[in-house]
Amino acid sequence: MKKKLLIILSILIVVGGVYFTWTKTQKKEEPKEETSEKQEETPKETEKEEEKEEPKEEEVQPEEPEQPEEPIVEPSRHTNYPGTTSKGYTVEVIDGIAYINGILIANKTYSLPSDYYPGGLLNDFLNPYYEMQAAASNDGISLEIISGFRSYDDQDWIYNNYVDRDGKEAADRYSARPGHSEHQTGLAADINSLYQSWGETAEGIWLNTHCADYGFIIRYPQGKESITGYMYEPWHIRYVGKDLAQKLYNNGDWITLEEYFGITSQY
Ligand SMILES: [Zn+2]
């Protein structure tokens, strides 16, 4: 009887063992199927991740060299102005401000000290402006200053907002870096609109045609971006005095301050 029981037990053990190993292999196979499915998926995911990561790295890489450029946005001062321009004019620097023939120069090359703060539009600008505004009104033209004096800090805020929105390269085409804006001089203002198409309106044409009679110039004329460093701005006027303004008007074919004096406008 004991032998029979032992035989039965050993059979059970063997059968049990076989069943156990069979179920093990079943379990192994099942997960294999799962993992093979996962393996198909996971490479897709990792590919996607790699695809996502790669451009990120590419984006990050150009940003890294730009970081040291950030401080340049603020100072970018050309301290060594030429004593004499290519047209033979003398550049005079008084309290950190460059003048040529008594005309204050503020562009991408010539900057203003951060503490230069006239605090508003100067009477040199305002008196002839009111005269011009009255004359325009008589012609049925309404002129309004939409942006006049801007401090160094105002410009810093505005410029950096544009850089955040459009990037530095684009912003530099239409917005001055702090210390380089004519709006900090108290001698420049934007009139009525900030759309280039405004230049073709009756108001824009009036301003373009008559401003020189009051001592103002269209500072950034059409087609002169490579010279002034700025896109066409039919709204931006700068006071330079009647004599110079009328010379620069040039019967409607504006000569820029850069061309007239033989100076650059580059960061
Ligand atoms: Zn302006």
Q: Compute the distance between CA of residue 245 and CA of residue 243 in angstroms, rounded to an integer.
A: 6
Q: What is the pLDDT of residues 78-132, one digit of tens each?
A: 667 889 999 999 999 999 999 999 999 999 999 999 999 999 999 999 999 999 9
pTM, 2 dp: 0.72
Q: Compute the distance between CA of residue 238 and CA of residue 190 in angstroms, rounded to an integer.
A: 9
Tell the burial category of 215 from Cβ atoms under 10 Å away from its Cβ (0-12, 13-18, 19+). buried
Q: What is the pLDDT of residues 226-265, one digit of tens each?
A: 999 999 999 999 999 999 999 999 999 999 999 999 999 9
Q: Compute the distance between CA of residue 239 and CA of residue 28 in angstroms, rounded to an integer.
A: 86
Contacts made by residues 52-58, CB under 8 angstroms, sequence distance 24+: none
Cα 12 to middle of ligand 1, angstroms: 97
Check if the beta carbon of residue 219 is closer than 8 Å to that of residue 255.
no
214 in helix, strand or coil?
Answer: helix
Cα 101 to middle of ligand 1, angstroms: 23
Cα 199 to middle of ligand 1, angstroms: 14
Cα 189 to middle of ligand 1, angstroms: 5
pLDDT of amino acid 47: 40
Q: List the shell of residues around ion ligand 1, using CB closer than 5 Å.
A: 190, 236
- Which of 14-28, 80-94, 174-188 has the least mean pLDDT? 14-28
Average pLDDT over residues 69-79: 52
pLDDT of amino acid 78: 62
Cα 185 to middle of ligand 1, angstroms: 11
Tell the burial category of 77 from Cβ atoms under 10 Å away from its Cβ (0-12, 13-18, 19+). middle
pLDDT of amino acid 18: 45
pLDDT of amino acid 70: 46
Cα 190 to middle of ligand 1, angstroms: 5
pLDDT of amino acid 3: 59
Give all domains of the chain, ordered by start, each with its CATH number: 77-261 (3.30.1380.10)
